[in-house]
Structure 1
Amino acid sequence: MKETFSELIAYLKNPVLVKDENTNTNYRLKKFFHLLIISIITSAIIMPVFGLIESSGLVDMNQHAMEELMEQYPKIFIFFLAVILAPVLEELIFRAPLTLFYNKNYFKPAFYVFAILFGLVHITNFTITTNVLLLAPILVLPQTILGGYLGFIRVKFGLAWSILLHATYNAFFILISFGSDLF
């Protein structure tokens, strides 16, 4: 996993449009699971910041769109939205176009712009207030970083892999939130 993490960090510092030529399924699954673990750990590291933001009264995290969805819709519908529909649509919008930027002078900025836009679109999960807008870079930091991770796997292995990573990542957190409803 250390190798995958080092490769990921190096790539995020200097993204290039170069596919990984190793098509071995075991190799790709190993990298996939490493990226999934790295994605989850990254979010877990950032999560305490949200607690600080909420406890300081700056943003009410209970007004998050997911909280509202959980109150209004059946869990199977929420699961479908978060684990199937959102990953497919978001990857088609934010990752599919990456390979259109063949020129290395355009690819790097495009890579970063798509990751940032992916993060920023998630600000709509919050009730928009002045504080939410001011704190937007922090509030969408997990999604922005995830956008970079998804861009990495998309370029290296293809669009289906970024959809799968996105779906699995969302499923992990959705299932945790469902589980927390039991207690």
Structure 2
Amino acid sequence: MDTITKFKQFLTEPRKAKEYTDIGFKQFMLLLIIAVLCMLPFTLLLSLLDVEDLGHIFEGLIKKNKWLFAVGGIILAPLMEEPIFRLHLNLKKSSIWWGLVLSLIIAFSDWFIGLAFMIYLVYLLIMISKKFTPNLKMVVYSSSAFFALIHLSNFTNFEFGNHFFLIPFLVGSQFIGGLILSYIRLNHGIKWCILFHGAFNAVVIIPEVLFMEV
């Protein structure tokens, strides 16, 4: 079965592989291309909507030290975000506990989303403790939504009351990226999830670092 068909099936009925396998180079690159192509329409829409007034935290970081920003985005962000948002997808207590502890990090950037995410993880712990298996589709889509929403904190002037209608455009690509990462996590393991996240960020960040005028 080809990668695209498997991913489409995953979107309608997510499943965890019985045994993780290494992801092949062609499959890795195909998923990376899909992730980039899914990002482009949102980038175009945001440029048409003219959201420059919202500001972006990355602009200041690039101006301060663009190479430190690159290292943070390509290496540190995947190492931090994947255990927080994707480790628990295997629905093991230990993984959920790790996600719960690490989620304290995101609470510092956005306390509201961070608190909601922690409540969600506690709910999963309670369900599993009572021998109920949470619906995996709900878990995959919920974690992807939280992953997307936490990126709202990147916009320095975002105010929910004034800009709530922009949320699907601001973080839509991260939501789709979260679904792709969830597919990789449940079929190939957290290691490949982190590597893929880093590769995607590299595709986005390196051109900005090289060609953005500081």
**TM-score scaled by length of structure 1:** 0.85
2:76 to 72, 85, 91: 85
Q: Which runs of 5+ in 1 are unaligned?
A: none
**1:14 aligned residue:** 13
Q: Which residue identity does 1:135 align to in structure 2?
A: L
Identical columns (%): 31
Offset of residue 98 of structure 1: 0.4
1:115 to 144, 148, 153: 144
Offset of residue 28 of structure 1: 2.2
**1:29 aligned residue:** 25
Offset of residue 6 of structure 1: 2.5
Structure 1 segment 24-173 matched on structure 2, within 5 A: 28-54=24-50, 59-60=51-52, 63-72=55-64, 74-100=65-91, 105-126=134-155, 127-129=157-159, 130-173=161-204
Q: Which residue identity does 1:49 align to in structure 2?
A: L
| Whole-angstrom CA distance in 1 between matches of 2:41 and 2:133 | 32
Q: Which residue identity does 1:85 align to in structure 2?
A: L
**2:121 aligned residue:** none
Q: Does structure 1 retain, via aligned residues, the 8 Å contact 2:42–2:170?
A: no
| Whole-angstrom CA distance in 1 between matches of 2:133 and 2:44 | 37
Secondary structure at the residue paired with 2:42? helix
Secondary structure at the residue paired with 2:3? helix
Q: Which runs of 5+ in 2 are unaligned?
A: 93-127
Against the structure 1 CA distance between its residues 138 and 156, is the aligned structure 2 distance closer, same or farther, given a 3 Å change threshold?
same
**1:178 aligned residue:** 209
Against the structure 1 CA distance between its residues 67 and 157, is the aligned structure 2 distance closer, same or farther, given a 3 Å change threshold?
same
Supply the RMSD in Å over aligned alpha carbons. 2.3
Offset of residue 180 of structure 1: 2.4
| Whole-angstrom CA distance in 1 between matches of 2:133 and 2:206 | 39
1:4-26 Cα offsets, whole Å, 9 max, x none, are 222212211221222466x4x5x
1:154-177 Cα offsets, whole Å, 9 max, x none, are 100000001000000001110111
Report how many residues are paired: 174
Q: Which stretch of the first structure deviates more once superposed, 136-145 or 38-47?
A: 38-47
Against the structure 1 CA distance between its residues 71 and 7, is the aligned structure 2 distance closer, same or farther, given a 3 Å change threshold?
same
| Whole-angstrom CA distance in 2 between matches of 1:81 and 1:105 | 34
Offset of residue 120 of structure 1: 0.3
**TM-score scaled by length of structure 2:** 0.73
Secondary structure at the residue paired with 1:143? helix
Q: Does structure 1 retain, via aligned residues, the 8 Å contact 2:54–2:158?
A: no
Q: Does structure 1 retain, via aligned residues, the 8 Å contact 2:184–2:193?
A: yes
| Whole-angstrom CA distance in 2 between matches of 1:167 and 1:159 | 12
